[in-house]
A = this chain, B = another copy of it.
């Protein structure tokens, strides 16, 4: 039977996929956050209502009703942005989480919270694959803010018995994502630019956004005052070079990618998720990265070529 679930940041890349996933399972989904879109668009993405607002205690009290769960997708989603404007990054990621938690504590104590965190909390992990118990030593403002938000969530669980779950998402990608590796590469290739920062040997764990959405939905079932924390990844690593080579082969580009050798600030070198935690929830990713990249290229070509 459907329940009412609030998705904050539902206009965003992750948020809209989460909303649609929940809606397909019969839930009533209320969206709140920033972004101007037409009713037909937010309805298409599964929202029953869309409230354009800051994610604050007051706004949640006014609009959230009595949801059974909140998936808190609002927040910054970019390491470069966190370096350009760290205070705004803090406000989007940490402050909104403080308000969501306080809303639940004061107005909806039985509501479950799912927090989509990020593998960036690990920084340069020493052991691969990365287990959830690994030290959290973020190397970017973005990762620091995600970790701070996590700490507040676990602190509310411990102190107030708030039911919560944290999912540390690895490299989420999919059609519609207008940033990060695939996006940057498609744009570069179309300008006959083949030079990338880094070495190409960086390892990423790519997770299709629809798989990320099903995992976050699963997390709503496992939220509890013990605040379980699981990785959200495929469990498989792929090098940036291999992703780009696959892209060039699909796009039949004239050049081949080359690498400057310089590491981008805040970019760790190797990320692969240990997925035992999410597997124990009965969740498995369904999409292979190579097929996901092909789908992405199709979307990109349709919209931008």
Contacts and interface: CB of A to CB of B under 8 A. Distances in A.
Interface string A83-119: 1001100110011001101100100000000000000
B99 A156 contact: no
> In the complex, which of the residues A101, A159, A266 has the most CB atoms of chain B within 10 Å of its own CB atom?
A159
Interface of A: 57, 83, 86-87, 90-91, 94-95, 98-99, 101-102, 105, 138-141, 144, 147-148, 151-152, 155-156, 158-160, 265-266
Contact of A98 (B87, B102, B140, B158): B87
B140 A144 contact: no
A87 B151 contact: no
A86 to B, nearest CB: 6
A152 B90 contact: yes
B158 A139 contact: yes
A187 B102 CA distance: 33
A266 to B, nearest CB: 8
Nearest to A85: B102
Contacts of A141: 155, 159
Given A86-B160, A94-B94, 14 more contacts: A57-B87, A83-B159, A86-B105, A87-B98, A87-B102, A90-B152, A91-B98, A94-B148, A138-B155, A139-B158, A140-B159, A144-B155, A147-B151, A148-B152
A95 B160 CA distance: 22
Contacts of A95: 95
Contacts of A158: 139
18 contacts: A83-B159, A86-B101, A86-B159, A86-B160, A87-B99, A87-B102, A90-B98, A90-B152, A94-B94, A94-B148, A138-B155, A140-B159, A144-B151, A144-B155, A148-B148, A148-B151, A148-B152, A159-B265
A86 B144 contact: no
Contact of A156 (B86, B151, B160): B86
A106 to B, nearest CB: 9
A152 B93 CA distance: 13
A147 B148 CA distance: 9
Pick the 4 closest A-B CB pairs, nearest first: A144-B155, A87-B102, A148-B148, A90-B98
A159 B87 CA distance: 13
Contacts of A105: 86
Nearest to A139: B158
> In the complex, which of the residues A57, A101, A141, A155 has the most CB atoms of chain B within 10 Å of its own CB atom?
A155
Contacts of A101: 86-87
Nearest to A138: B155
